[in-house]
Amino acid sequence: MSEKATFSTPVLAVLVAGATAVFALSMLLMLNGSSEEQGFSTTTKSVSAIGHAGLYELAQRFDVPVARSRINGTVAPGEGGLLVMAEPTSSLSKDDIIRLGRESNVLLVLPKRWALADRSKPVWIGSATPMDIPWVTSIARLVEPKLEVTRGDPPKSWDRNDLNVNPSFDDGAQLIKSEELTPIIGNRQGMLIGKKLDGERRIWILADPDLVENHGLIKGKNAEFALALLNAMRDAELGDGKVVFDETIHGMVNNVDSPFKKLFQFPYVIVLLLVLAATALLAWATTSRFGKPRLAPPAFDLGKGRLITNTATLLDRAGHHAFVMRRYVRATLRDVGRLFHAPRQLDDEKLAEWLDKIGEARGLETKASTLLARTAEEQSSSLTGLFQATRDIHEWKEDISDGTAARRPHR
């Protein structure tokens, strides 16, 4: 009887399809890795109106060395470099505050607006609202505790402008006031850019981020203003330091290339193809026996039938035919004797005579004593005669057991 399959064909097809889909999805995720796209955020990866991707690309095009510092890939500006913390929209962590106080040259760009994503295109903003001034002030006071933030109409002129480039405002201007800061660009209304000296450390504050955001760079001379800002704050004479945008304040994580990407590059792709071919051949070879393997036939059949057959074969090969047939005749007599409750002390000859009396009473012509005598060793040397005697004793047993006097035909 054949073994029942562990899985039916439809179930097997679903399992194989599901496993293939999961494998393909895992490979896709490993190959693509995590995305740095921050949607409408204020990072240098964001192409939204409030993002700084334009500023980062602008610096690259004009040979200003730039880099991004991420959570698992911190980059130091180096000698003469500049660390830019652009628009932190939440409270800075302890590590961010420590880094703000440790770097020798830092630019803090204050935030100005909250934004909501566009539903049709999440990488853009759908709407923006001004931040509360106290919230912006709390971020600015990480640098100067007595600093104040103000908003109003854009200044028509500046009493001091060390960059010599007049920026263009979108609507109102966000400025700062503090007696502890040195104005780089400012007037009586306040400062657009202020500088604080702390020994050899320099901390710069850009009050209004509109001028360096994506939407603001295309207005007036703001692109020129942004380049002048970075070049003025980065001291190239001290070394070849970079302008590093600190993206840890926005939660950006450094991407680590998946090693599986290597499998799709030459020459590793050849190994991948060979592995896939070997896997396909293995699957093809094992598909027909999927599930529980069939049981191999036993080396020896078990059971009484096989035991009797093996015993007969051994006796036949040993040449004990006459011995076996004589034993069969005597065993049959004793079997019938037990059936009729013959006395136990009778030997074979006496038992045969006792059974003859029962046979006569039942009308049998064949006598057990005659059949026993025919199988005596001194009277039987022919295997044919012995075989006939065993058949006769078998028929005699059936007749005397059935209690009928009718002779059965030879079979």
| Residue 349 pLDDT level (bands cut at 50, 70, 90) | confident
Q: Which two tokens stand for residue 369?
A: 């004593």
Decide if 411 is inside a domain: no
Given the structure tokens 């028509």, which residue do they identify?
Answer: 156
Both 216 and 346 in one domain: the answer is: no
Confidence class for position 182, pLDDT limits 50, 70, 90: very high
263 and 246 in a common domain: no
The dihedral formed by the CA atoms of 228, 234, 237 and 238, expressed in degrees to the nearest 10: 170
The more confident residue out of 300 and 345 is 345
Task: Give the total number of structural domains in the chain.
Answer: 3
Q: Which domain covers residue 18, as residue numbers?
A: 9-33+259-289
CA–CA separation, 251 vs 245, rounded Å? 13
Task: Report the pLDDT value the prediction gives residue 155, as an integer from 0 to 100.
Answer: 93
Q: CA end-to-end span of the chain, whole Å?
A: 35
The verdict on 192 and 335 lying in the same domain is: no
Best-predicted range by mean pLDDT (32-36, 76-80, 246-250) = 246-250
Place 344 in a pLDDT band, splitting at 50, 70 and 90: confident
What confidence score (pLDDT) does residue 410 get?
44
Cβ atoms of residues 83 and 99 within 8 Å: yes
Q: What is the pLDDT of residue 166?
A: 94
Assigned domain for 299 exists: no
Helix (H, G, I), strand (E, B) or coil at 89: coil
408 found inside a domain: no
393, 366 in Cβ contact below 8 A? no
Together in a domain, 309 and 337: yes
| Residue 296 belongs to a domain | no
In CATH, what number is assigned to the domain containing residue 216? 3.40.50
Q: What string of DSSP letters covers 267-299?
A: THHHHHHHHHHHHHHHHHHHGGG-SSPPPPPPS
Q: Are the CB atoms for 47 and 57 separated by under 8 Å?
A: no
Q: Flag the least confident range among 86-100, 121-135, 312-326, 331-345.
A: 86-100
**220-224, 277-281, 306-310: range with lowest mean pLDDT:** 306-310
Amino acid, res. 280:
A
Q: Would 139 be classed as within a structural domain? A: yes
Q: Are residues 211 and 149 in the same domain?
A: yes
Please report whether residue 47 resides in a domain. no
Regarding whether 354 and 232 lie in a shared domain, the answer is no
For residue 46, tell me if it sits in a domain: no
Tell me the pLDDT tens digit for each residue of 16-38.
777 777 667 666 655 554 444 44
Residue 269 and residue 155 in one domain: no
DSSP state letters, 81-120: -EEEEE---SPPPHHHHHHHHH-SEEEEEPP-EEEEE-SS
* Same domain assignment for residues 240 and 375: no
Give SS3 for 262: helix
124 and 232 part of one domain: yes
Q: Could you tell me if 147 and 274 lie in one domain?
A: no
Q: Are residues 369 and 264 in the same domain?
A: no
> Is residue 45 assigned to a domain?
no
In the predicted model, is pLDDT for residue 179 greater than 70? yes
- 263 and 169 within one domain: no
What is the residue-averaged pLDDT of the chain? Answer: 79
Helix axes 304-318, 321-339, angle to 10 degrees: 140
